[in-house]
Amino acid sequence: MSADGAVLEMREVSFAYPGNSSHLIVEQINLAIQPGEIVAVVGPSGCGKSTVLNLLAGFLTPTSGAVLMQGQPVVRPAPERAVIFQSDALFPWLTVRDNAAFGPACRGDRAQLAQMDDYLTLVGLERFAGYHPAQLSVGMRQRAELARVLVNHGPVLLLDEPFSALDVQTREAMQELLLDVHARLRPAVLIVTHDPEEAIFLADRVVVMGPVPSRFIESVAISLPRPRTAAMRDSTAVLEVRRHLRALLRASTAGRQASWRAMLPQ
């Protein structure tokens, strides 16, 4: 088991894509996500955020170091580490209910199937269970995605820019839905986003990635109380953290490694 109780961990993980082994994308990354914790990863485009998420999910294997889930090496994707991407992975020929029930139906898990309607209600899609994905808005399709992964009861939820394709109002509503769902089911969540505001609103801790070969250059604890409310989005505390994250991201984007090093605590 993990020494510190982490549900999901990266230990000294370095990674280069096969065929380009001299080009490390991430270098000696350490991360320990506690049960029920929400961690946001922010960083400039191309810095390796999706690579980190795919390593945690088991889609990619570290070049060196290890990814551990509840102390066991992650060697392949598994339903207990559910993943949601920016665009949904729903089957267009299945209804919302059948999409959401696909995993349990394949496994013959009757207990999970019996709870299907509760999950559709949780994500606000109870009236749309019989619709097909093409009949839904992008935001509703992401709700269906959420139901599809939540029904697995996994201890970990991995989200890669899940709300980036949504307009501002829908995005904020989805962030609030994610927090509602988290408060009820308490999975550990890792969310990759390029949006510092989203990261601050959702997370207990925001991890900032530097340019490739990427490391985590800072971890910022977010001390906002829970439940988080829409009014907190414009609070002074949020604005201050946002300013700090933006400065780190600007320095990182410009590749001015010297300047972000100078900003780190000594």
- One-letter amino acid of 40: A
Kindly tell me which of 144 and 212 has the beta carbon lying closer to ligand ADP.
Answer: 212
Paired tokens of 206: 């925001």
Q: Which of 7, 33, 50, 125 binds Mg ion (CB under 5 A)?
A: 50
Report if residue 212 touches ligand ADP, rule: CB under 6 A: yes
252 binds, among ligand ADP, Mg ion, none (CB under 5 to 8 A by kind): none
Q: How far apart are CA 195 and CA 246, in angstroms?
A: 9
Which position among 50, 99, 193, 252 is part of the footprint of ligand ADP (CB under 6 A)? 50
Q: Tell me how far, at minimum, the Cβ of 49 lies from ligand ADP, in Å.
A: 3
Question: In 3D, which of 184, 160, 230, 207 has the Cα closest to residue 42?
Answer: 207
Q: Of 52 and 177, which has the nearer Cβ to ligand ADP? A: 52
User: Minimum CB separation from ligand ADP for residue 23, in Å?
Assistant: 8
17 binds ligand ADP (CB under 6 A): yes
Contact call for residue 196 and ligand ADP (CB under 6 A): no
**Quick one: 155 or 196, whose CB is closer to Mg ion?**
196
Cα-based distances in Å from 190 to 17, 186, 235, 248: 22, 12, 24, 20
Residue 47: contacted member of ligand ADP, Mg ion, none (CB under 5 to 8 Å, by partner type): ligand ADP
Closest listed residue to residue 35, CA positions, set 191, 157, 178, 179: 157
What is the Cα–Cα distance from 218 to 188, expressed in whole angstroms?
Answer: 20
Q: Candidates 43-51, 173-181, 221-229, 256-264 — which segment interacts with ligand ADP by CB under 6 A? A: 43-51
Note whether 162 binds ligand ADP by CB under 6 A: no
Q: How many CB atoms lie within 10 A of CB 70?
A: 16
Number of residues that bind Mg ion (CB under 5 A): 2
51 is a site residue for ligand ADP (CB under 6 A) = yes
Taking alpha carbons only, the member of 51, 49, 38, 43 closest to residue 194 is 43
Residues 6+ apart with CB under 8 A from 109: 103
Residue 49 sits in the site that holds ligand ADP (CB under 6 A)? yes
Of 155, 158, 51, the closest CA to residue 145 belongs to 158
Contacting residues toward ligand ADP, per CB under 6 A: 17, 25, 43, 45-51, 212
